[in-house]
Amino acid sequence: MPKRKKLNGLPHNLTRSLFGTERYYVCGYMGDWLFNMARQLNISEVTIDILSANIDPAQLNIPPLIMHIKDLQPIIQKELNAHGFPADFIVEAKIRIQFLDPTIYRKTFHCFPTLTDKDGRKYAPGRIVESAYEEMFDPFDKISFWDKFKSTFN
């Protein structure tokens, strides 16, 4: 029987992977894209559903974010496989993100990742503090710029 405690670090690893410096798209890291969109749309809380590759609120379901969220699903599968769990053992994987007062927290946001297994047990490491790295940019303008750039080479 696999030991569940081996999955305790997985929510933390998923969050660090999503907001790490290896996740770059056109002009910013995933933290930059999410942070700038939330600031521009005046959103204070976001929920990322890793298993369905979906973001709530729906305005944030844009290619740069969804592309990298889909990359997290194989990480879950590899961890489950490495520790002897069945592929369907994790039934829910979400990261709740809070964007705090911009006058106090200029580029910082808080992440609360949670995984739930098929027996109902939750794996939650608590608050993880993340930051935007790049200067502020208009994320909606960059998307159209990138689409135009790609179309010139097709």
Q: For the residues 17-37, what does the mean pLDDT come to?
A: 87
Express each pLDDT in 65-111 by its tens digit: 898 999 999 999 999 999 999 999 999 999 999 998 877 777 899 99
Burial class from Cβ neighbours inside 10 Å (0-12, 13-18, 19+) for residue 11 reads buried
Provide CB contacts within 8 A for 82, sequence distance 6+. none
CB atoms within 10 A of CB 32: 25
- Average pLDDT for the chain: 87
**Residue 27 in domain:** yes
Can you give the pLDDT at residue 92? 97
Residue 139: the pLDDT is 76
- Specify the pLDDT at position 62: 86
Residue 154 has pLDDT above 80, yes or no: no
Average pLDDT over every residue of 103-131 = 92
The two beta strands, 128-131 and 24-25, are unpaired
pLDDT at 114: 97
Inform me whether the pLDDT recorded for 145 exceeds 60.
Answer: no
| Helices (runs of H) and strands (runs of E) counted in the chain | 5, 8
Would you say residue 151 lies in a domain?
Answer: no
Predicted TM-score (pTM) of this structure? 0.86
The pLDDT confidence band at residue 144, using thresholds 50, 70 and 90, is low
The domain of 32 spans: 4-132
Q: Would 44 be classed as within a structural domain?
A: yes
Length of the chain: 154
Tell me the two tokens of residue 18: 């999503």
Q: Is pLDDT larger for residue 75 or for residue 142?
A: 75
**pLDDT > 90 in the chain, percent:** 56
The answer to whether residue 153 sits within a structural domain is no
Residue 15 CB neighbours (<10 A): 21
Q: Judge whether 17 lies within some domain.
A: yes
pLDDT for 27 equals 79
Q: Is residue 42 part of a domain?
A: yes
Confidence at 64, pLDDT banded by 50, 70, 90 = confident
Task: Please give the tally of structural domains in the chain.
Answer: 1
